[in-house]
Amino acid sequence: MNENLSDYKGVLVFAEQRNGHIESVTYELLNKGRELADKRKTFVMAAILGNDLKDSAKNLIIRGADKVITADSEKLKDFIDTTYANVLSDLILKYKPEIVLAGSTNLGRSLLPRVAAKLKTGLTADCTELDIDPADGKLLQTRPAAGGSIMATIVTPNSRPQMSTVRHKVFKETTADESRKGEIEIFEVKESHIDVRTRYLGFKKDETQTVNLSDADVIVSGGRGLKQADNFKLVQSLADALNGAVGASRPVIDDGWMPFSHQVGQTGKTVSPKIYVALGISGAIQHIAGMKSSDVIVAVNRDENAPIFQIADYGIVGDLFEVVPLLLEKLKEIDK
């Protein structure tokens, strides 16, 4: 996009929804979007695609959007990446936002690269921080690089919009304000937007996780210290006792002990539970990047020099096969 960069104004948040439910990452982005917009002395827009979106649009205003743009059509009820990319690209061309933000979710990771390619602009994926350069007003997009050993700050100097996907739980959600007022505009969905080559068949939910990892208040994660896949039953038992979810480090996933949906870390999910229990996890920087914002971190490891203890609020140096059964017994006593 080689138009005058000054033609682009405002921050646009892609409001991800599934079955009419707005994903919480959207509210996190509205919060950050407001901060960025205030620094640029501009406004916040939200774009939502789907079907029967009237109530969702009002909710986005309550949560911080000054303007909500709805692309409402029966043909957008189910997510098809090429169709959504056609609609969102044309919507961006019409409204010309300076910044576009979306969640680094499965949907966001599929959609935003297609949109960026159509618009011939840059995209920084999996950002962990966003800011405005006070010198020239450019968006500073920070993300882990080189295997998590450095943090790279990326800018988009010559094209607009500046586009970023951001991991869930990196920013705090905006709070609801029932008194907020805003505009709702309808974006026309055309037949030319619909990819007739692709048909939605269905959605298969991950049945291995009884509690959503990203939204869990308690997460119990296991690492190579568990020695073999079958020992993850111990992790599951502790998670069940705490009404929590099961997580895992990347080496465990690579070894095939657990499905990828359980991975916590730079290349997995970013989580921020109230309690994070790390069992047999050494604490590689890639794993720490995905859970360091947890309110309370409890680590169990036989190696007293394990890096995980540097960020743990409570550390237990010991054999997890001895420690976890003791914890389970204590929890049973409490429940009696």
Q: Rounded to 5 degrees, what are φ and ψ at 218?
A: -130, 130
Structure confidence by residue, pLDDT tens digits, 40-96: 999 999 999 999 998 999 999 999 999 999 999 999 999 999 999 999 999 999 999
pLDDT of residue 319: 95
Q: Give me the percent of the chain exceeding a pLDDT of 70.
A: 96
pLDDT of residue 149: 63
Q: Give me the percent of the chain exceeding a pLDDT of 90.
A: 75
pLDDT of residue 207: 62
Q: What is the mean pLDDT of the chain?
A: 91
pLDDT of residue 1: 46
pLDDT of residue 206: 62
Residue 18 structure tokens: 């599934």
Q: Give this prediction's pTM.
A: 0.76
Q: pLDDT tier at 125 (50, 70, 90 boundaries)? A: very high
Tell me what the mean pLDDT of segment 189-199 comes to.
90
Say whether pLDDT at 255 is over 60: yes
Q: Which domains does the chain have, with CATH numbers?
A: 5-193 (3.40.50.620), 218-335 (3.40.50.1220)
pLDDT of residue 272: 86
Residue with tokens 């029967």: 52
Length of the chain: 336
CA distance 36 to 135: 14
Structure confidence by residue, pLDDT tens digits, 300-318: 999 999 999 999 999 999 9
Tell me what the mean pLDDT of segment 217-229 comes to.
95
Amino acid at 6: S
With contact defined as beta carbons under 8 Å apart, do 65 and 34 qualify?
no
Say whether pLDDT at 169 is over 50: yes
Tell me what the mean pLDDT of segment 188-213 comes to.
79
Say whether pLDDT at 208 is over 60: no
Cis peptide preceding 134, ω within 30 of 0: no
pLDDT of residue 180: 93
Q: Rounded to 5 degrees, what are φ and ψ at 119?
A: -90, -5
pLDDT of residue 150: 74
CA distance 211 to 221: 13
CA distance 235 to 219: 10
Say whether pLDDT at 3 is over 70: no
